[in-house]
Amino acid sequence: TQLLEQSPQFLSIQEGENLTVYCNSSSVFSSLQWYRQEPGEGPVLLVTVVTGGEVKKLKRLTFQFGDARKDSSLHITAAQPGDTGLYLCAGGWRDDKIIFGKGTRLHILP
């Protein structure tokens, strides 16, 4: 059974600080997606990474896929209140399915 563990579960930091959240597994994934979800809404796709070691940047967000394709990280520079939300990672373990971690709930204090 593939499991994705996200850490930390909760993170509350001041506006302007940097942060990193992690997504780890003992399984190899063919791809890794990061989503952000706000209360009462569906997850919104941020990025898909498919190659081991791949790094993608989306404005102040930097996503990295581990070399062995078992883990990923999301780094946010100069966090803003608008970054508040639930960050979910999802691993692709067959061409047609993904499994989700439980998420990291991020709160940016103004």
Partner 1 sequence: DTGVSQDPRHKITKRGQNVTFRCDPISEHNRLYWYRQTLGQGPEFLTYFQNEAQLEKSRLLSDRFSAERPKGSFSTLEIQRTEQGDSAMYLCASSFVVPTQYFGPGTRLTVL
Residue number, 48 or 62, with CB nearest to partner 1:
48
If binding means CB under 8 A, how many residues of this protein chain bind partner 1?
24
Q: Which amino acid is at 59?
A: K
Q: Give whichever of 16 and 57 is closer to partner 1, judged by the CB atom.
A: 57
Q: Radius of gyration (Cα) for the chain, nearest Å? A: 13
103 and 34 in contact (C-beta within 8 Å)? no
Q: Quickly tell me which residue has 């990295």 as its tokens.
A: 64
- H helices, E strands: number in the chain: 0, 11
Of 40, 59, 82, 110, the residue at the interface with partner 1 (CB under 8 A) is 40
C-alpha 94: how far from chain center: 19
Work out how close the CB of 110 gets to partner 1 at its nearest, in angstroms, rounded to a whole number: 25
* 107 touches partner 1 by CB under 8 A: no
Report if residue 48 touches partner 1, rule: CB under 8 A: yes
Does residue 90 bind partner 1 (CB under 8 A)? yes
